């Protein structure tokens, strides 16, 4: 698994989402690396990391991330996961709890796919196989606040450029893996370390309302809801970076 490493201090692992790679964190990494040791992987089938299987389960992705930490002899770290990266962070928190100091779900949640969503994943694979470029173009656009598409034109273009670096086999393997993921809400209920959950009011990929209803009300869990879509790091970079900086000081 390819990864970028920079900065010194306490280790923070930044996990990108579906149709992204380590570059999505570039803007934040510049600031965070002044205070932290960052490990920023390209997840399986994304960026410079090749596809390893027809299905990349969240558990498989988690295992590869943990292998990086073990190789670097890092005992524990803070994990920040965007979207699919959040699902992988939850798999790490469940399967390797001793590795987690803090956990942030960044426009992500703990819920499995609904039956409808599982069907949509299969349809998405078919669509991507028919025309990958068209699939990426439409998928990325749909992740932003629909009322601000004109003013976010440059940000959408940037996200599409990164997304186009994802090969078809990586797209399909990730979709199959996300389709198979299980409910990890119980992990939030059991964890005692600081947890940050960042949600978008206009997020088409994460049902913020449904997630809030099942979320445990605990002192170690902080929730921030912003007036953005799924791509808060591009839609509201200043606000989201400040939230992450505050979270890492907890």
Per-residue pLDDT of the chain (250 residues; tens, 9 = 90+): 999 999 999 999 999 999 999 999 999 999 999 999 999 999 999 999 999 999 999 999 999 999 999 999 999 999 999 999 999 999 999 999 999 999 999 999 999 999 999 999 999 999 999 999 999 999 999 999 999 999 999 999 999 999 999 999 999 999 999 999 999 999 999 999 999 999 999 999 999 999 999 998 999 999 999 999 999 999 999 999 999 999 999 9
Question: Looking at residue 85, what is its pLDDT?
Answer: 99
Question: Looking at residue 145, what is its pLDDT?
Answer: 98
Residue boundaries of the structural domains of the chain: 3-248
- Say whether pTM exceeds 0.85: yes
* Other CB atoms within 10 A of residue 67 CB: 11
- Cβ-based neighbours of 229, under 8 Å, separated by 6 or more: 143, 144, 145, 146, 200, 202, 203, 204, 235
Question: Looking at residue 174, what is its pLDDT?
Answer: 99
The strand order across the sheet containing 3-6 reads: 3-6, 37-41, 11-15, 77-82, 100-106, 195-200, 221-226
Question: Looking at residue 91, what is its pLDDT?
Answer: 99
Question: Looking at residue 5, what is its pLDDT?
Answer: 98
Q: Which CATH class is domain 3-248?
A: alpha beta
């Amino acid at each position: 698994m390819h990864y970028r490493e920079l900065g010194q201090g306490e280790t923070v692992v930044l996990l990108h989402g579906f149709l992204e790679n380590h570059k999505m964190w570039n803007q934040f990494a510049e600031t965070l690396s002044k205070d932290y040791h960052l490990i920023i992987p390209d997840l399986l089938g994304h960026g410079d990391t090749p596809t390893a299987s027809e299905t990349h389960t969240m558990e498989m992705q988690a295992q590869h991330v943990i292998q990086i930490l073990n190789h670097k002899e890092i005992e524990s770290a803070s994990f920040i996961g965007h979207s699919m990266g959040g699902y992988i962070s939850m798999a790490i928190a469940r399967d390797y709890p001793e590795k987690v100091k803090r956990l942030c779900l960044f426009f992500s949640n703990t819920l499995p796919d609904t039956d409808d969503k599982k069907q949509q994943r299969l349809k998405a694979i078919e669509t991507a196989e028919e025309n990958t470029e068209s699939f990426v173009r439409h998928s990325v656009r749909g992740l932003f606040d629909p009322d601000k598409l004109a003013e976010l034109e440059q940000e959408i273009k940037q996200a599409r450029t990164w997304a186009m670096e994802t090969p078809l086999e990586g797209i399909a393997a990730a979709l199959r893996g996300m389709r198979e993921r299980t409910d990890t809400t119980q992990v939030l209920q059991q964890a005692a370390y600081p947890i940050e959950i960042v949600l978008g009011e206009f997020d088409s990929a994460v049902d913020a309302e449904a997630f809030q209803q099942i979320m445990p009300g605990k002192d170690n869990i902080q929730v921030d809801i912003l007036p953005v879509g799924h791509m808060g790091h591009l839609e509201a970079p200043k606000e989201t970076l400040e939230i992450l900086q505050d979270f890492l000081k907890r």
